[in-house]
Structure 1
Amino acid sequence: MRCALPRPHRPAARIAAACPLLVPLLVLVLVLPGCGTATGSDSIAGRDALVVGVKADQPGLGLRGPDGTFSGFEVEVGRYIARRVGAARVGFRAVTSENRERMLEEGQVDLVLASYSITADRSRQVTFGGPYYVAHQDIMVRRSDTAIRTIRDLTGRRMCQAAGSVSTERVVEGLGVRPRLVPAPSYAACVDRLLSGDLDAVSTGDLVLAGFAARARASLRIVNAPFTEERYGVGLRKGDLDGCEAVNTAITQMYQSGEAARLLRVWFGSTGLKLTESVPEFEGCS
C-alpha cells in the first residue's frame, strides 16, 4: 500500500492513521533542536538543564582556565539567569563572535552571553533578552602612546578588526573614521598584536577592554573617550519569546537585589571604569 505524505495542516491523529510508519520519523523531527520557533515546550524557560555560551578568551567577562572551567562577569550573570529561569544544572561552552548564531541555531548552546551587542541585523537571526549591561565603545592603546586621545585620532592608524565583531563598523561606517584595518580572529589576538607593536589601537566595548587592560597595566591603557553604546544582550534561539520574558525578569531581579552591582564590582571595580548599576532599558521580546 502506498502512503502519500499528508498535507502540513492535517492533524497528527490523521497522519498516524494514514501513515503509521511515519510516526517515529515525525517524533524525531519534532524533537530536533532548532526546528521552527522556540516557544512553549521548546523554550528555555523551566528547562532542567541549560548550556550557556560564553567567551573563553576575554578576561573579566569570560575566560577558560587551564582546568577547563570558565570565570568572569558574563559567566556569573549567565549562571544567575539560568538558575532564575528554572535550570537546576548549568553548563558552559565556548563561543566566538563568528559562531554565536550558528551554535544557538544548532542547539549547541541555549543562551549566549558573550559581549553580544544587540543590533538590527543580529535580531533577524536570534531573539535577544536584556540587555544585561550597557557598555560604551572606547579605545585601548599602548601606555607609551599619547598621540591617540579621541576616535578621530585613529585616522590612518593601525586598528584591529576582530572577526565577527560590529565594533569596527561603528568606527568606519558609523563615524566615518578611516583607520588602517588589521584583521584578527579575536580580541585576544588583537591585544597580543597591540602588545607586540603590530597595531596602534583596539576599539570595542569598555568592559572587554578593561579586562585585558587589567592584566597588562604596565603596558596598556584605555583612552577613556567613549563614543557609542554597546547594549550587551542575552542571545536565544529565534522565536523563544517565553524564554526572553523569563530572562528579562531574571535580569530585573539581579539588579534590584544588588547582585548585578556586586558582580560588576568584583570583576571591574579596580579598573577605574564608571560602572552603571541601574537596570538597563530592555529592548522588548519580539
Structure 2
Amino acid sequence: MKVPQAGAVAAVIAIALTTSGCLGEEEVKGKLAIGIKFDQPGIGMREPDGTFSGFDVDVATYVAKQLGYAPDRIEFKQVYSNDRELLLQYNEVEFVAASYSISDKRKEKVDFAGPYFLAHQDLLVRANDTSITKAEDLNTKKLCSVSGSTSAENVKNRLAPKASVLELGGYSECLVALQDGLVDALTTDNSILAGYAARKGNENKFRLTGLAMSNENYGIGLKKGDTELRDKINAALKKMVADGSWEQAVKKNFGPDYKYEAAPPLAATN
C-alpha cells in the first residue's frame, strides 16, 4: 500500500475541515423565516415578479443581515393581522415585521423589539367625499378594517361606537369595498393608507383625512421569553437609525410628501 505524503494528507484534512465547517454553519442557520404582510404597498408587498418591497421588508432585511443572514437566506412568509401571534408561538417564523403595533394585550402573548416606527391611525376615503371631517362622523358611516387589527377596536371603543364596521381579511379587500361604494372609509395606520393612495392606478381616487386618531408604535414581534433575540434585534435597529439606513428606507417607501416623525426611542428592557 502506498503511503500518501505528509503534505497531501495535510491538504486533505484542511479541505475536509473547511467543508465540514461550512456545512455545519449552514445546518445551524439554514433559512431565516420572517413574517411580513404581502398586500400593503409601502409597508410589505409581494410584487407580481415575486420580489418583495416596502419599509418593513427593508427593516427586516437589515436586521437579518446583522444577525448573519444574507438576503438569499431569508424566507418571507405571509402573515395576517389575526395570526401573527400564532405563527410566533408555533415557531413558523423567527420574528414578525408587519406593521405590528405594540400593545399591552399583544405583549401578553409575544415579546417586541423596538419600536422602530411611529404611525397614526387615519381614514382613507374616496377623493370626492368631504362628509367625514372628524372621527365622530363615523357614527353614521360604514367603515372597513381588517380582522385582528387594533384600528376597528379603537373606533368602536373610543371614537365612534355607533359606526358600522365591516372587518375583512386584508386591506386590499377593504380598498375594493371603498372603491365600489360598499363602505365610506377604510381605517388603519396612515403609513399603510399612504401606500395604497400612492399605488400606481390609485392616483386621485382616494385621499387621507389627516386625522391622527391614535399613536401606533411598530415593533418587531418575537416569541415570548426570547430576550437574546430581542436584544440582538434592538441593537440592529439602533444601528439602522444611526447609519442613516432607516431614514433612507422611509423616504424610499413612503415618498417625499409623507410627513414622518423621527425614529422612536427603543423601549426600556429588563
Q: TM-score range by the shorter chain?
A: 0.7 to 0.9
Residue 281 of structure 1 deviates from its aligned partner by 2.1
Residue 140 of structure 1 deviates from its aligned partner by 0.6
2:216 equivalent among 223, 230, 235: 230
- Quick check: which one's helix share is greater? 2
Counterpart for residue 64 of structure 1: 46
Map Cα deviations across residues 237-268 of structure 1 (whole Å, 9 max, x no partner). Answer: 11111111111111111111111111110111
1:164 equivalent among 135, 148, 151: 148
Counterpart for residue 121 of structure 2: 137
2:45 & 2:255 partners in 1: Cα distance? 18
1:164 & 1:108 partners in 2: Cα distance? 19
Q: Is the Cα contact below 8 Å between 2:135 and 2:160 reproduced in 1?
A: no
| Matched residue count | 239
2:65 equivalent among 70, 83, 89: 83
Q: Does 1:55 align with 2:47?
A: no
Residue 85 of structure 1 deviates from its aligned partner by 2.4
Q: Is the Cα contact below 8 Å between 2:34 and 2:93 reproduced in 1?
A: yes
Q: Is the Cα contact below 8 Å between 1:50 and 1:87 reproduced in 2?
A: yes
| Local SS of the residue matching 1:167 | helix
Counterpart for residue 238 of structure 2: 252
1:274 equivalent among 238, 255, 259: 259
1:226 & 1:121 partners in 2: Cα distance? 22
Counterpart for residue 89 of structure 2: 105
Q: Does 1:239 align with 2:225?
A: yes
Map Cα deviations across residues 106-134 of structure 1 (whole Å, 9 max, x no partner). Answer: 21111101111111111111110001101
For 2:42, the aligned partner's letter is G
Which runs of 5 or more residues in structure 1 are unaligned? 1-45
TM-score (norm 1): 0.80
1:175 & 1:197 partners in 2: Cα distance? 22
Counterpart for residue 148 of structure 1: 132
2:246 & 2:177 partners in 1: Cα distance? 33
Q: Is the Cα contact below 8 Å between 2:44 and 2:55 reproduced in 1?
A: yes
1:82 & 1:178 partners in 2: Cα distance? 44
